Structure 1
Amino acid sequence: MVSSIIKYILVLLLFTTASLPSYAAFNASPPTQGAFFNGKYRNLAAEFGKTNGIDKLNQGFNSMFGYNGKQQLYYAYSENGQYKAHYIRAINPTSGDDIRSEGQSWGMTIAVMMNKQEEFDNLWRFARRYQKNSWSHSDPNKQGVYAWQLKFDSNGYVYKNDDGPAPDGELYFAFSLLNADARWGSQGEFNYYDDAIEILGVIRNKLMEDSIIRFSPYLDNLTDPSYHIPVFYNYFATRVSSNHERDFWNSAATKSRVFLKNHFTKVSGNPHWNLPTFLAQNNGEPIIDYLFNGQANPGHWYEYDAWRVAMNVATDAHLYGAESWHKDTINSLLGFLDYDKNASSDKCYKQLYSYGSAETQQCAGTGQKATNAVATLASTDSSIATDFFNDFWSESQPTGDWRYYNGCLYMLAMLHVTGNFKLY
């Protein structure tokens, strides 16, 4: 009798174990060959045992691009009662809503990765018509670039509030268009490929200095570390037609990686505690204090733009191949934030830092958690990676007044961590 019970229990355990879904454990040794070469895109959600990754991704897209009024960022634009296009609305309760090249290009990137051509075309139609500057603009630096900020007049019509460029917008525009060409071809309403090549020319000729992306075409030896996505440049190199252009973009990728390595060397330890800064010189030296009128944040702050640097480093490691500097950078950055989280009385790391001390007592929000979840693609610390990933995964899609930036980063991160941010 006892023997029969034991056999029954063993069979039951065997059946139960065999019926459980199996997941690959978190890979604490990021591959040295990137998905750019082998097409193997990591699914972090699956590595961490999450079974609802695709459902959350689809739900996130439907909420961002739907008409729910809570998480929605995708809006139709009409003039005189006639529909024209769609835009990504930057909800801003303090200064009034606006439209940014950053958000428009992110929206296009999300749409192409989700294989949503209609939404992609609606956004691109708006960007071409309302954000792009004329080639006959009186300022040569602004010819052919995309105005970084549009606002709404009293009649609800858009106008260029600042027609200067924010070069990360151009980078994502070109990146999304080349992927659109690869996925859908360029025989429809738009020639995605030709439009992308035109933007690459603008980036090269107006928005780079010695092959390094500029913060502004009016300020020399100044870059924004969050604009550095080296694997984008390598991808551009595979899509251009001439050897000369190919060499340029591959060289730009190399210089961008050198910049990032130099920058993180210069912010290691006290007083920066391994946190990237808002602005830097081209050699990676952090910029301290204010440089120009209207600058929102001192250059030495780890702040909103700077959140994205960790995501960009990990994206480079994942798509192009993890090197020691990628892993060291992410381990050090997440390590400090993890230390501060455990050491602080409110048990959280903060949104803003200056020289290693918190500039605000406000805990990290969804957008910052999103970028740090992507950062775990280059982490070699399973325990810390698990904490940062779960911090993001437990977040709801942003709603309310500040949902623009947090919501865009949420969706970009969902693409990355489910293995759906790809190079086509």
Structure 2
Amino acid sequence: MKTDVITMSRLRTPYITIVLSFFGFSLLLFAVCPARAGIQRPFPQHVAYTPGTIKPNHVTQTQLDNAVTAFYIAWKTQYLKTGDSEGCQPGRYYVRFSPSGPTIAVSEGQGYGMIITTLMAGYDSNAKTYFDGLYWYYKDHPSQNHPYLMAWKQVTGCVTPADENGSATDGDMDIAYALLLADAQWGSAGAINYRQEALNVMQAIMAQEINPNTWSIMLGDWVEATEPTYYYGTRTSDFMLNHLRSYQAASGDARWGQVLATTYNLIHAMQTTYSPPTGLLPDFIQNLNSTPQPAASSYLEGPYDGHYYYNACRDPWRIGVEYLLSADSRAKAAADAINTWIRNKTGNNPANIRAGYYLNGADLPDNDYTTMAFVAPLGVGAMVDASNQAWLNSLWNLVVSQALEGYYEDTLKLLAMLVMSGNWWTPSASSSYLLWMK
């Protein structure tokens, strides 16, 4: 048994610990941490990921960091907006979804923005102000089904449409994770108790967005058991494996471990049964109560719901982060399968990555363009093995060379760049509440 010892140098704050040693092992009984002030994990962090993983090595660490900060400035200018012009409450911020359309924000974007601003604290002196403004915007727009989940869409006037007031699970999961990061970054003794709010959101997710029969992640809190088509369905871009670990570490709720196990089982089932040549996952999976399979056409969003499209394109990022931070071999196996296929498919030229594929690797119709929504997440997936070094370097070059595209593409690009540069960290490594053994 190995004990992780929480040190003063890691937390940059005094700790009082009691340690018992016996039979060659150390047991950490408790740790008392006073309220923390200031920034605990300022950008850049240069996280030591799982041994054997890689980062782009054809540029210096300073160049990696500078690329992140430059794109963060561009992203913030383009998408991080104050709510004043939309009639929101004072001090609110939101991540702009559409520059001209009626939809101004979605919960997914709020979660992304909250993660980004927390990770950029230290570089951006206003990061906490932005984070808190994003948080209060989330609080202003609760789902009709639970006050700690967010209504998935708001439109002009800072209002939630009456027929769009349920949640989308991915936004809620990222919001909960961002609140854990905020507790680790700034502590929870201020105006917002980030830790307690994170626990509240996690409890709401467990109650409303986790299927208690299959321990699978549901599409949103609008799904009811009376609709088995959706009740036993899931969205693979919600497979935030490392989030689930952080939830369990923060809450002590073993049910998150069951959700993690189910999620891994679904990844394995899809890759071995439906996409053995490619490792690709579909946007949606259905029939989780019997034989899980890729969703039928137009299951929820469109004709490519059962293929690797604009939801599943995020999967290499989520799977890659899991291996980088947890060293779980299941994540590496899943990422390796995708890496092997995409490198062969493109001839090791990232410029040949296209916007969507059938699970067998064939091109989807009208996919003949390159977008960061598909390219950038593959950069994170490539980090799991040193054999991908040249491929990763090429991916990085393509990512940093691209101009702004749109909210979704650019936000995924920035999130992926944070990981690829070594600046993605888990709250479990630094937060005041963590006490664990493994």
Q: Please, which of 186, 189, 193 is the counterpart of residue 188 of structure 2?
A: 186
Residue 119 of structure 1 and its aligned partner are, at CA, apart by 1.1
Q: Give the aligned length.
A: 357
Q: In percent, how many aligned pairs have the same letter?
A: 19
3-state SS of the aligned residue for 2:70?
A: helix
Tell me the equivalent position of 1:205: 207
Tell me the equivalent position of 1:234: 245
Contact 1:266 1:286 in 2 (8 A): no
Tell me the equivalent position of 2:57: 47
Residue 414 of structure 1 and its aligned partner are, at CA, apart by 1.2
Q: CA separation in 1, counterparts of 2:393 and 2:88? A: 50
Q: CA separation in 1, counterparts of 2:356 and 2:89? A: 43
Residues 46 and 383 of structure 1: CA distance in aligned 2, closer, same or farther (over 3 Å): closer
Q: Please, which of 150, 156, 162 is the counterpart of residue 146 of structure 1?
A: 150
Q: CA separation in 2, counterparts of 1:288 and 1:50? A: 46
3-state SS of the aligned residue for 1:150?
A: strand
Cα shift readout 1:127-170 (whole Å, capped 9, x = no counterpart): 111x213xxx4xxx455421111111xxx443336111110111
Residue 266 of structure 1 and its aligned partner are, at CA, apart by 2.3
1:152-171 alignment to 2 at 5 Å? Answer: 152=156, 156-160=157-161, 162-171=164-173
1:188-337 alignment to 2 at 5 Å? Answer: 188-209=190-211, 210-216=214-220, 217-218=223-224, 219-240=230-251, 243=252, 245=253, 247-269=254-276, 273-281=278-286, 282=288, 284-292=292-300, 295-323=301-329, 325-337=330-342
Q: CA separation in 1, counterparts of 2:88 and 2:105? A: 20
Aligned-partner residue type, residue 326 of structure 2: Y
Runs of 5+ unmatched residues, structure 1: 1-38, 67-71
Contact 1:367 1:407 in 2 (8 A): yes
Contact 1:186 1:192 in 2 (8 A): yes
Q: Which structure: larger Rg? A: 1
Asked if 1:65 is matched to 2:76, the reply is yes
3-state SS of the aligned residue for 1:253?
A: helix
Residue 117 of structure 1 and its aligned partner are, at CA, apart by 1.1
Q: CA separation in 2, counterparts of 1:287 and 1:180? A: 36
TM-score, normalised with respect to structure 2: 0.74
Q: CA separation in 2, counterparts of 1:81 and 1:90? A: 16
Aligned-partner residue type, residue 98 of structure 1: I
Q: CA separation in 1, counterparts of 2:340 and 2:404? A: 26
Contact 1:366 1:398 in 2 (8 A): no
TM-score, normalised with respect to structure 1: 0.77
Tell me the equivalent position of 2:24: none
Residues 99 and 336 of structure 1: CA distance in aligned 2, closer, same or farther (over 3 Å): same
Aligned-partner residue type, residue 337 of structure 2: S
Residue 82 of structure 1 and its aligned partner are, at CA, apart by 7.2
Aligned-partner residue type, residue 327 of structure 1: K
Cα shift readout 1:278-322 (whole Å, capped 9, x = no counterpart): 101336521222235xx2343222111111111111111111104
Q: CA separation in 2, counterparts of 1:157 and 1:229? A: 29
Q: CA separation in 2, counterparts of 1:203 and 1:81? A: 26
Contact 1:331 1:381 in 2 (8 A): no
Runs of 5+ unmatched residues, structure 2: 1-46, 122-126, 225-229, 428-438
Residue 257 of structure 1 and its aligned partner are, at CA, apart by 1.8
Residue 410 of structure 1 and its aligned partner are, at CA, apart by 1.0
Q: Please, which of 383, 386, 390 is the counterpart of residue 392 of structure 2?
A: 386
Q: CA separation in 1, counterparts of 2:179 and 2:354? A: 35
Contact 1:366 1:410 in 2 (8 A): yes
Residue 92 of structure 1 and its aligned partner are, at CA, apart by 6.0
Asked if 1:398 is matched to 2:404, the reply is yes
Q: Please, which of 346, 352, 362 is the counterpart of residue 348 of structure 1?
A: 352
Q: CA separation in 2, counterparts of 1:395 and 1:126? A: 33
Cα shift readout 1:193-235 (whole Å, capped 9, x = no counterpart): 1111111111101101132111232421100111011221111
Aligned-partner residue type, residue 109 of structure 1: I
Aligned-partner residue type, residue 423 of structure 1: T
Residue 397 of structure 1 and its aligned partner are, at CA, apart by 4.7
Q: CA separation in 2, counterparts of 1:73 and 1:368? A: 20
Asked if 1:113 is matched to 2:123, the reply is no
Contact 2:314 2:373 in 1 (8 A): no
Tell me the equivalent position of 1:339: 344
Residues 351 and 82 of structure 1: CA distance in aligned 2, closer, same or farther (over 3 Å): closer
Contact 2:267 2:334 in 1 (8 A): no
3-state SS of the aligned residue for 1:236?
A: helix
Contact 1:330 1:379 in 2 (8 A): no
Contact 1:372 1:388 in 2 (8 A): no
Residues 284 and 411 of structure 1: CA distance in aligned 2, closer, same or farther (over 3 Å): farther
Contact 2:354 2:374 in 1 (8 A): no
Q: CA separation in 2, counterparts of 1:208 and 1:373? A: 29
Contact 1:142 1:163 in 2 (8 A): no
Residues 299 and 50 of structure 1: CA distance in aligned 2, closer, same or farther (over 3 Å): same
The RMSD of aligned alpha carbons is 2.7
Residue 357 of structure 1 and its aligned partner are, at CA, apart by 2.4
Tell me the equivalent position of 1:407: 410
3-state SS of the aligned residue for 1:158?
A: coil
3-state SS of the aligned residue for 1:75?
A: strand
Bigger proportion of residues as helix: 1
Contact 2:348 2:391 in 1 (8 A): no
